[in-house]
Amino acid sequence: MSEAVNIWRDPDGEYHIEWQASDPATRVSVEALADGAAFEAHYTERSRARISGLPPSRRHFFRVKDEFGTEVLATERRLGLSGSPNFRDFGGYRTAGGQRVRWGYLFRSGHLARLSDADLALLDTLDLDLIFDFRQQMEQQSEPSRLPDRRPPRVHSLPIQPGNNSGFLQQSGGHVAGPEVMFDFMVTVNRELAREEAAVYRRMFEAILAQDSARYLVHCAAGKDRTGFAAALMLLALGVPEAVVMRDYLLSSRFYDAEKEVARVQEKYGLSATDSAAILPMLQVDEAYLGAALSVIREDYPDVPSYLEAVMGVGERELAELRRRYLED
Task: Give me the amino acid identity at 137.
Answer: Q
- Helices 226-237/316-326 angle, 10° precision: 100
Would you state the pLDDT for residue 4? 78
Single-letter amino acid, residue 106: L
Distance CA 148, CA 69 (A): 41
pTM as predicted: 0.93
At residue 92, the pLDDT reads: 95
Residue 21 backbone phi and psi in degrees, to 5: -130, 145
54 neighbors 34 (Cβ within 8 angstroms): yes
**How many alpha carbons lie under 13 Å from residue 172 in its C-beta half-sphere?**
22
Question: What is the three-class DSSP state of 322?
Answer: helix
Taking Cα atoms as reference points, which of 47, 46, 71 lies closest to residue 61?
71
pLDDT at 41: 84
pLDDT (0 to 100) of residue 167:
59
Contact 235, 244 (CB under 8 A): yes
DSSP letters, 182-213, are HHHHHHHHHHHHHTTTHHHHHHHHHHHHHSTT
Query: What per-residue confidence (pLDDT) applies to 20?
Result: 86
Instruction: Supply the pLDDT for residue 118.
Output: 92
Polymer length of the chain: 329
DSSP state of 78: B
pLDDT of residue 146: 97
Spatial neighbors of 314 by CB under 8 A, at least 6 apart, are 205, 237, 308, 322
pLDDT value of position 223: 96
Mean pLDDT by 10 residues, the chain (329 residues): 84 92 86 79 85 89 92 94 96 96 98 96 95 95 94 95 60 74 92 95 98 96 96 98 97 93 80 82 96 97 98 98 97
DSSP H helices, the chain, are 117-124, 137-142, 166-171, 179-194, 198-210, 226-237, 242-250, 252-255, 258-268, 276-283, 287-300, 304-312, 316-326
Catalytic one among 21, 189, 220, 230?
Answer: 220
Is 210 noted as a catalytic residue in this protein?
no
Amino acid letter for position 277: A
Q: What is the pLDDT of residue 173?
A: 61
